[in-house]
Amino acid sequence: MGDLAEDAEPPIVWTAGAVARRPPRRHPSRSRTGSRRSRCTGSCAPRLDAETLRHVLDDDFATHGLETTWNELCVPALTALGRRVTPAGDCVDAVLLLSWAIIAGLHLAAGPTNSASRAQRALLACPEGERHTIGLEALHAVLTERRTPANMLGPSVPTPVLVAAADRIRPAVVVVWSQARRTARTGLLRKLAPLAGTTIAAGPGWDEVRLPGTVVRVTTLRGATDAVTAATVPGGRPGTSARA
Ligand code: B12
């Protein structure tokens, strides 16, 4: 309860519009971020208090913006809660709820998607067997905010399905997220490379993998966003950065 009292705020009327319209303040104090992180991981998520969790996250997204809230609240909260998972499966429900609340917050904060020509489109997917989608959701949200059109296919996309989708829309860039080494297969990247302007490998699963020379490796949200934007903007320089 201590962290809840410490972080108590006056009641706010929560509407999607109000949350989305508030101008972002980009530099939260370290202690305040820590307090909100511990509120998520220490009380809301373990108690399966979805409403308070959403309020804390949505407020942070609206106040500090997508990138700051992702880097300073979401990733540390996921990492901290992930440490509490036991071999018996304790705390997995809390991780699932936090994941859902973060994804919902990202969608709300990103605002509506927009239409654009197919030639400028990004295609985002996790390979077969990979259910860790949140990093890709963060990228999709920032791209949406920047008005870069992106198709998000989500978790565990079978290889033939992903290859067929890339063949059909011929995206400017395809991003493949692997959280774990076992889903980071270069064979998939080789199949996608001829079908997309740029092929990007994202997520820690690729850390130890020797990538084909044409594949761009990204390791941060900012680096991924910049690489995708460069590949989708006409006159950008796709594929020129080996690591971002
Ligand atoms: C959330 C989570 C889940 C959720 C996923 C929900 C969802 N929709 O994504 C659920 C509960 C479904 C899940 C399931 C499983 N999980 Co899990 N999960 C996690 C957890 C807690 C967070 C992962 C995450 O998304 N983090 C957010 C990402 C972005 O953070 P990150 O990659 O660490 O960020 C680094 C970089 O990527 C970069 N970065 C940050 N943001 C961004 C953004 C972009 C765009 C880029 C490019 C880079 C970048 O900076 C960070 C620092 O270097 C981790 C614990 C942990 N410590 O990571 C375990 C973890 C990833 N899971 C793990 C495991 C083993 C599993 C399961 C196999 C468990 C099981 N027995 O069923 C299943 C696998 C399911 C599958 N088939 O894929 C292991 C993976 C071990 C490994 N490396 O192989 C971990 C590490 C837990 C552990 N310590 O054992 N999981």
Q: Which of 71, 93, 110 is the last residue of a domain?
A: 110
First-to-last CA distance in the chain?
41
Q: Tell me which residue has its CA closest to atom 20 in ligand 1.
A: 82
What mean pLDDT is predicted for residues 214-237? 89
Residues 106 and 123 in one domain: no
Is 96 touching ligand 1 by the criterion CB < 6 Å?
Answer: yes
pLDDT single digits (tens) 200-220: 999 999 999 999 999 999 999
Asked if residue 33 is part of any domain, the answer here is yes
Q: Which of 110, 135, 160 is the last residue of a domain?
A: 110
Residues 56 and 13 in one domain: yes
Residues 125 and 228 in one domain: yes
Residues 139 and 91 in one domain: no
pLDDT single digits (tens) 155-192: 999 999 999 999 999 999 999 999 999 999 999 999 99
Neighbour count for residue 87 (Cβ, 10 Å)? 5
Is 203 touching ligand 1 by the criterion CB < 6 Å?
Answer: yes
Ligand 1 atom nearest residue 79's Cα: 57
Neighbour count for residue 156 (Cβ, 10 Å)? 16
Q: Which residue segment(s) compose the domain that 193 sits in?
A: 118-232
Q: What CATH number does the domain containing 135 carry?
A: 3.40.50.280
Is 120 touching ligand 1 by the criterion CB < 6 Å?
Answer: no
Asked if residue 239 is part of any domain, the answer here is no
Residues 104 and 17 in one domain: yes
Q: Of 99-103, 111-115, 218-222, give the lowest mean pLDDT range.
A: 111-115
- Indicate the pTM of the whole model: 0.88
HEC string of 129-165? CCCCCHHHHHHHHHHHHCCCCEEECCCCECHHHHHHH
Q: Does the pLDDT value for residue 111 go beyond 60?
A: yes
DSSP code of 200?
Answer: E
Asked if residue 241 is part of any domain, the answer here is no
Is 209 touching ligand 1 by the criterion CB < 6 Å?
Answer: no
Is 125 touching ligand 1 by the criterion CB < 6 Å?
Answer: no
Residues 106 and 10 in one domain: yes
Q: Is 240 left (phi over 0), alpha (psi -120 to 50) or beta?
A: alpha
Asked if residue 218 is part of any domain, the answer here is yes
Q: Tell me which residue has its CA closest to atom 57 in ligand 1.
A: 79
Per the structure, how many domains does the chain have? 2
| Span from the CA of 65 to the centroid of ligand 1 (angstroms) | 23
Is 218 touching ligand 1 by the criterion CB < 6 Å?
Answer: yes
Percent of the chain clearing pLDDT 70 (strictly above)? 80
Q: Which of 110, 130, 158 is the last residue of a domain?
A: 110
Residues 164 and 215 in one domain: yes
Residues 72 and 145 in one domain: no
* Strand ranges for the chain from DSSP E: 122-125, 150-152, 173-177, 198-202, 215-218
Under the banding of pLDDT at 50, 70 and 90, the label for residue 240 is very low
pLDDT single digits (tens) 112-160: 877 654 438 999 999 999 999 999 999 999 999 988 999 999 999 999 9
